[in-house]
Structure 1
Amino acid sequence: MPFLGIGLSSAIALFFIFHAIRTQQDRYWICIIFMVPFLGSLIYFAAICLPKLRSTPVGYQIETKLRKTQDPERELYEAQKKYEASQNSTTRINLGKALVDNNRADEALTYYQQALTGNNATSPDILLQYAYALFMDHQYTKAKETLNFLREKNPNYSSDESHLLYARVLVSLNEREQAKKELETLISYFPSLEAISFYLQTLIGWNQIDKANHVLLIIEHRLSYLPKHTKRLNAQWIKNIEQSKQKLNQLSKGVN
């Protein structure tokens, strides 16, 4: 086992040495990695690789997930501090969002309501966040009313997220025909794996096996054309789709 650890440490060190040479880093990095392989590799990664990784979408997502894992309430704490320092629409909205992200949607509602006053009373972006908070608090009827109000006051506002949220609200209210129409319209122009994954899950929940199998074929066709980096960004939805596929296969066997 000690030899395995030494071998792994050396392999990692060689990887970063080759990286330093290929990217034309200062030669002292090679010396640092060579003299203290494990610690040197760690320092090199933190100083050279991590800043560049942060600038990519995948890197940003990884950093965000790590930060939330290490300190899940940090964003909430910072939002609360800013709100206490200056109570305005921006700090109220940010605090509301942080509360929703920490599964405290019921507490977020008050801050969104306070933000939806004056010139912001019909703001589509704030209304959308408020509707989402209502949805997360299981206030589906009120969420639907808020989204209808958003559409009424902002007829030219276009948001794929609002359409998906509206569909999710309709499903929660068991308004199947309207929800199905909304979802089919959405996935016809919005190439989101989140949207079509949700539609597949919904059809399975409604026990519409034939329709679900048809949607699964569409999904698999789209997945076959996705580049690797897009698949990495959509890993969560792809995992959900795979789970839905397994469940659908079991249901299909039961029908047959």
Structure 2
Amino acid sequence: MSVALVLSILLQTICVVHVLRTGRPYWWVWVIIFGSFVGVAVYALTQMLPDLQNDPRARQAAKGIAKTINPERDLRRLREELARADTVQNRMRLGAEFLELDEPAEAEAVFRECLRGMHAEDPDILLALAQAQFAQDKAQDTHDTLNHLIRANPDFKSPEGHLLYARTLQQLGRDQEALAEYEVLSDSYPGEEARVRKAELLRQLGMEGDARTVLETVLSRSKLAPAFYRKAQREWIHRAKQLLKD
């Protein structure tokens, strides 16, 4: 059997399955089967491609593939946008891209440039700056930035910022303070990361029984949670399982 024939059968099968799963008219099956590569191409372009364009998960996957192939494509585009319009929004997007590319020093410099005028104490910018500092293991700088954020914006609420504060305290060796923050986060953070990090700290402090209780709670919660939650929290659920095995 030739490679072309095998490929044709594979592509036809994929398209026929798509027809049946999405409720397309059955005459598409005949177009696909008798049209071979041409039929597959017509169906893919007119039926499958629009579906993919309207599917957020497909768009995200495509974006991830594009970034893997050309990781600095978005960075170049964002630099060009900043050159055309030097706005805080464009700088924030550029800084976020530097963070995603694991270049936190560049991100920190960009975020600092945003802290001017009416944005000098903007909580979102200060939080982004703290994240860039933490990514460079600048625990004290991160702590100072977060304290500045809290003083300047006492009503600002951010689960990610709160978790970063707890992690910063832990990195500074202020374990009991970090544990108190993790305790609060256990009931308020939208996900399992805070609970797993709390369990890891409890274990470091020799509180094995308490750590195990927290990890078992993570697993029991995940069993009762809907599939989308388990998928989103897969990393932390897996980590909890591994910690229980150790």
Q: TM-score, normalised by structure 1?
A: 0.81
Contact residue 54 and residue 63 of structure 1 kept, 8 A: no
Alpha-carbon deviation of 1:113? 0.9
* 1:76 counterpart residue number: 75
Measured in 1, the distance between the counterparts of 2:41 and 2:196 equals 38
Aligned residues: 246
CA gap of 1:122–1:105, structure 2 versus 1, over 3 A, is same
Match of 1:88 in 2: 87
Q: Encode CA deviations 1:164-222: one digit per residue, 9 max, x unaligned.
A: 11111111112101111111101112241222233333334444322210111110111
- AA paired with 1:210? G
Unaligned runs of 5+ in 1: 251-256
Alignment of 1:11-160 (within 5 A): 13-21=12-20, 23-25=22-24, 29-35=28-34, 44=43, 48-49=47-48, 51-53=50-52, 55-56=54-55, 58-160=57-159
Higher RCO (CA < 8 A, seq sep 6+): 1
In the TM superposition, what are the counterparts of 1:192-207 in structure 2 within 5 Å?
192-207=191-206
Say if 1:87 and 1:235 are closer, same or farther in 2 by CA, change over 3 A: same
2:179–2:201 contact (8 Å) kept in structure 1: no
Letter in structure 2 aligned against 1:96: G
Distance 1:42 1:217 in 2: 50
Residue 115 of structure 1 aligns with an amino acid whose one-letter code is: C
Q: CA 1:196–1:110 in structure 2 vs 1: closer, same or farther (change >3 Å)?
A: same
Alignment match, 1:210: 209
Q: Find the aligned partners of 2:48 and 2:203 in 1 and give their Cα distance.
A: 43
- Deviation of 1:155 (Å): 1.3
Unpaired stretches in structure 2, ≥5 consecutive residues: none
CA distance in 2, matches of 1:164, 1:39: 54
Return the offset for 1:228: 1.7
CA contact (8 A) 2:219 2:240 kept: no
Counterparts of 2:167 and 2:114, CA distance in 1: 24
AA of the residue aligned to 2:232: L
Q: Aligned to 2:201, what secondary structure does the other structure show? A: helix
> SS of the residue aligned with 1:137?
coil
1:183 paired residue number: 182
SS, match of residue 25 in structure 1: coil
Shift of 1:68: 2.3
**Sequence identity (%):** 28
Deviations 1:127-171 (A, max 9, x none): 111110011111111111111111111111111111111111111
Calculate the TM-score normalised by the size of structure 2. Answer: 0.84
Kindly provide the amino acid, as one letter, of the partner of residue 144 in structure 1.
H
RMSD: 3.0
Q: Is the 8 Å Cα contact of residues 159 and 189 (structure 2) preserved in structure 1? A: yes
